[in-house]
Amino acid sequence: MLSEETRAIIKATVPVLETQGTLITKTFYKNMLSSNTELLNIFNKVNQKKGAQPTALATTVLAAAKHIDDLSPLIGHVKQIGHKHRALQIMPEHYPIVGKNLLIAIKEVLGDAATPEIIKAWGEAYEEIANVFITVEKEMYDEAAWPSWKPFEVIDRQQVAKEIVEFTVKPVNGSGIDLNALKITAGQYITVNTHPTRHENQYDALRHYSICSSSTDGGLKFAVKLEETPGKDIGLVSEFLHKDVKIGDNILLSAPAGDFALDEKLIEQNEVPLVLLGSGVGVTPLLSMLETQVKANPARPIYWIQSSKDETTQAFKKHVDALLSECNNVEKIIVHTNDQARIDADFLKAKVPSGSDVYICGSLDFMNAMIDHLNGLEHTADMIHYEPFGPKMSTIKV
C-alpha cells in the first residue's frame, strides 16, 4: 500500500508525464535494450522505430499516475497488455529490469527536476503497478492452452489475397497438445517465435497474428500479410514466413491470446446489429467472428464492411461470400481505395445503424480514423470494439 505522501508526489508528476512521457519512454527503451541486449529477442524493433511502443508505455504510465489512488479502473487495460505479455512470455523476472531502467530514464530526461523524493516515489509506485501486472498475468499463464513455446508443423498454406497467406498448422507429435480439445475464441491471435537470418538479423523475432477460424478442424489457421512496401521497413517475420517457411516445416507458437471477442450476450439475439469493419489483413479476426456468429445465430442482422486497395488484395473473398450466403439478414459492403473510395464519417453515418455492436480491425491509422468517426456520430464507447496492428495502448486517451 502506497503512503499518502508517495501518492501525492506521483499525482504531482502528471503534468510532466503529459508533456515528457513519450520522451521518457523512448529514452527508457533505448537504455534498456542497449544494456540488456537479450531483450531484443522479445521486443518488436519495428514498433520501437515507429514510436508505437514508447507511446503505449507512456500512456500506461500516465494512466497509472492519474489513478494511483485506486488502480482498479485500469484492470481492463492491464488485462489487454497482459495478454500480449503472456503471449510473448514476459516473466516476473523481467519487471525489475524494466523498473530500474524506467527510473534511470526519468532522471535522465527530467534532470535536476527529478528529485530524490520523486525517484523514490516512482520506485515504490512502479513496484505496486508491476505487482498488479504480475498477478493478472499469472492467472493467464495458468489458464493458457499450453505453456511456453511449442512446435507446430505447417500442413498447408493458401494465398487468400495478393499479399496474404493463410497458414494451417498442427502440433507436432509429442507436444502434448490435443488440437480437437483446443478452445479458440473468435478474435484471438497466436504468437510466432522465429529467427529470420535475412538482413543480418541476430535475434529471435516474435509477432502476433490473428487466428482465421475458431474451429480447429483440419488445423489451427492464421493469416500473414507480406510487409514489403518499397521505401518502408521490411516485415522481417512476414518475409520469413512468406518466403522461407514451407509445408512440412516446424514453427514455434505460444498459446492463443487476446481479449478482442464478440459480446456473448448479443450473439443469440436479433435486435442489435453486428458490424464487422476491417481493412486489409485486419479482416482476419473479423472472419473468425463472422464464422462464430453465423454458426450460432445466422438470423442476426450483420453488416460486413471490408476495405482493400482493389479486388486482388481483398482477403478471404470466397470464404466471406460463403459465410454471408448462410445469413438471413446481411449487408456486404466492399470498398476499394484504388477507386478513390473511402470510409469516412459520412459513409459510416449512412451505412452503420445507430445502436450497432461494432468490431474494427486494421492499421493504427485506420483504427484511429474509424474510432474518431464513430465517436463523432455518437456511437457509445462500450459498443465500439477494436484490435489494432500494434500496441493498443498507443490508441488510448487517458
Per-residue buried b or exposed e for 9-26, using 16+ beta carbons within 10 Å of the residue's own CB: bbeebeebbeebbbebbb
Q: At residue 395, does pLDDT exceed 90?
A: no
pLDDT digits (tens, 9 = 90+) for 330-364: 999 999 999 888 899 999 999 999 999 999 999 88
Selected catalytic residue, list 5, 29, 93, 95: 95
For residue 53, name the pLDDT band (cuts at 50, 70, 90). confident
Residue pair 305/344 in contact by the 8 Å Cβ criterion? no
Selected catalytic residue, list 126, 137, 303, 387: 137
For residue 298, name the pLDDT band (cuts at 50, 70, 90). very high
For residue 198, name the pLDDT band (cuts at 50, 70, 90). confident
What is the number of alpha carbons within 13 Å of residue 271 lying toward its C-beta?
2
From first CA to last CA, the distance across the chain in angstroms is 23
**137 is annotated as an active-site residue:** yes
So what's the architecture of 4-143 in CATH? Orthogonal Bundle (1.10)
Q: Which residue has the cell 496492428?
A: 389
For domain 150-257, give its CATH number from 3.40.630.30, 2.40.50.100, 3.40.50.1400, 2.40.30.10.
Answer: 2.40.30.10
pLDDT digits (tens, 9 = 90+) for 180-190: 999 999 999 99
For residue 392, name the pLDDT band (cuts at 50, 70, 90). confident
Q: Which residue has the cell 502434448?
A: 176
> Can you give 140-208 as a three-state secondary structure string?
HHHHCCCCCCEEEEEEEEEEEECCEEEEEEEECCCCCCCHHHCCCCCCCEEEEEECCCHHHCCCCEEEE
d(CA 165, CA 199): 22
Name the pTM for this structure: 0.93
pLDDT recorded at residue 223:
97
pLDDT recorded at residue 47:
65
For residue 178, name the pLDDT band (cuts at 50, 70, 90). very high
For residue 31, name the pLDDT band (cuts at 50, 70, 90). very high
Tally the residues of the chain. 398
Phi first, then psi, for residue 355 (nearest 5°) are 80, 10
pLDDT recorded at residue 43:
83
List the one residue out of 381, 380, 388 whose CA is nearest residue 360: 388
**387 is annotated as an active-site residue:** no
List the one residue out of 8, 109, 23, 21 whose CA is nearest residue 63: 21
pLDDT recorded at residue 241:
97
CB atoms near residue 293 (< 10 Å) = 21
DSSP 104-143: HHHHHHHGGGS-HHHHHHHHHHHHHHHHHHHHHHHHHHHH
For residue 48, name the pLDDT band (cuts at 50, 70, 90). low
How is residue 394 written as a grid cell?
Answer: 498507443
Query: Do the domains 150-257 and 4-143 match in fold?
Result: no
Which H or E run contains 74? none
Topology of domain 264-394, CATH = Rossmann fold (3.40.50)
Q: What ranges do the domains of the chain cover?
A: 4-143, 150-257, 264-394
Output the average pLDDT for the chain.
93
Phi first, then psi, for residue 293 (nearest 5°) are -65, -45
d(CA 384, CA 382): 6
C-alpha distances in Å from residue 132, one per residue of 70, 136, 265: 12, 6, 29
